[in-house]
Amino acid sequence: MNIQPIYILASIFFGVAFVLAIADFLLTSNEQQVININDEEYIPAGDGTLLEVLGENGIFIPAGCGGKASCGQCKVTVKEGGGDILPTEEPFLDEEEREEGVRLACQVKVNEDMKLELDESLLDIEEYTARVAEVRSVTPTVKHVRLEMIEPTDIEFEAGQYAQIMIPGFEEYRAYSIASPPSMAREENALQFTIKLVPGGLCTSWVHFAMEEGDIVKFTGPFGHFYLDEESDREIILIGGGAGMAPMRGILERLDELGMPRPTRYYFGARNSDELYYGDRFAELEEKYDNFEYIPALSDPTPEDKKNWDGPTGFVTDVLDEREGSLENAESYLCGPPPMLDAAERILVDHGMPEEKVMFDKF
């Protein structure tokens, strides 16, 4: 049997395979896909979504839902590349944003060179490592968490902003408002959060059932354009519900540091008295300042509440509507469930507050 042709064919086959491998390597090396940011910085494109690729390169985009296209926070302006807008993005983009190339970073697949336009403030966002110094229940469904910074030890933020905490073992982030004033970060290298249990929620389940003092966690931040305007001289209306307490507490602590310079009223909505927390602190502020008032309202009081509660009942937005007069010289900070905030915004505007003075943080 003559096997020489077999060796010849095998040699040809391996030779061609080798040449193709070399060509593929050269093409890949010479055509490395890149992302151009603000015509200044270039980063390797990598694989995955734009949100993931940016994060891998130390550029952290807000994404409170962890990249599930349910919060609409991870908006970036794509000048080149990125493909067509996906159906999952459409509910979060208005016509003007679509024309400008705004996209959800969590939905854009990186498979070509891209050119982005990012807010410069996002380029200053850092990743932090911290230690859980305290975790305790303040209601049956809300945990108070104190994190002490390890690296870096300094963080600058405004009262009302939020951070994104990484869930250990999942490499996913969830957004939580900072419930402490900036001074605590400067003086104690610490931040506080109030985190409400969401049934089935990945991060909230970890916080409520697994987090322990001494645990090491990572977070990014600060994020958000929702924060106290310290230059304003308008009256302040704060409205919160549920876990919407967090940024309001941070804002109130900052106002306390400033000496409560403006008349301030804080409306907080809860179903029953078991869901009220930090009340003692707000009572201290009421005692300290004549121009501060805390107004909690119960929408579904328990039988025990009906015997003992002497505060307002019903939806907190109805209480707001009944108590307030003209608000043309006031501004408002809102945080809570979207239906509550939609109703509050409508009522505030009806009472004369300029729309641009209604600032909110929906979750």
Average pLDDT over residues 69-95: 93
Quick one: pLDDT at residue 363?
57
119-123, 175-179, 180-184, 262-266: segment of lowest average pLDDT: 119-123
Quick one: pLDDT at residue 32?
62
CA 196 from chain center: how many Å? Answer: 14
Domains of the chain, by residue range, sit at 34-122, 125-223, 235-362
Quick one: pLDDT at residue 346?
97
> Is pLDDT of 2 > 70?
no
> Is pLDDT of 45 > 90?
no
As a whole-number percent, the residues of the chain with pLDDT over 90 amount to 76
Quick one: pLDDT at residue 169?
87
CATH fold for the domain made of 235-362:
Rossmann fold (3.40.50)
Q: Is 248 helix (H, G, I), strand (E, B) or coil?
A: helix
> Is pLDDT of 28 > 70?
no
Q: pLDDT digits over 293-329, tens only?
A: 999 999 999 999 999 999 999 999 999 999 999 999 9
Quick one: pLDDT at residue 66?
79
Dist. CA 13–CA 123, nearest whole Å: 50
Q: pLDDT digits over 226-258, tens only?
A: 999 999 999 999 999 988 999 999 999 999 999
Q: Tell me which CATH homologous superfamily contains domain 34-122.
A: Beta-grasp domain (3.10.20.30)
> Is pLDDT of 1 > 70?
no
> Is pLDDT of 196 > 90?
yes
Distances 258 to 217, 234, 285, 356 between C-alpha atoms, Å = 32, 15, 13, 24
Quick one: pLDDT at residue 4?
55
> Is pLDDT of 14 > 70?
no
Quote the mean pLDDT of the chain: 90
18-22, 170-174, 253-257, 259-263: segment of lowest average pLDDT: 18-22
Q: Are 246 and 333 in contact (CB under 8 A)?
A: no
Q: Are 125 and 185 in contact (CB under 8 A)?
A: no
Q: Which CATH number is 125-223's, of 3.30.390.30, 3.20.20.70, 2.40.30.10, 3.30.470.20?
A: 2.40.30.10
What b/e string do you get for 231-265 counting C-beta neighbours within 10 Å, with b at 16 or more?
eeebbbbbbbbbbbbbbbbbbbbbbbeeebebbbb
Give me the count of residues in the chain. 363
- Tell me the helix, strand and coil percentages in the chain, rounded to 5: 35, 30, 35
Average pLDDT over residues 103-114: 93
126-130, 216-220, 241-245, 321-325: segment of lowest average pLDDT: 241-245
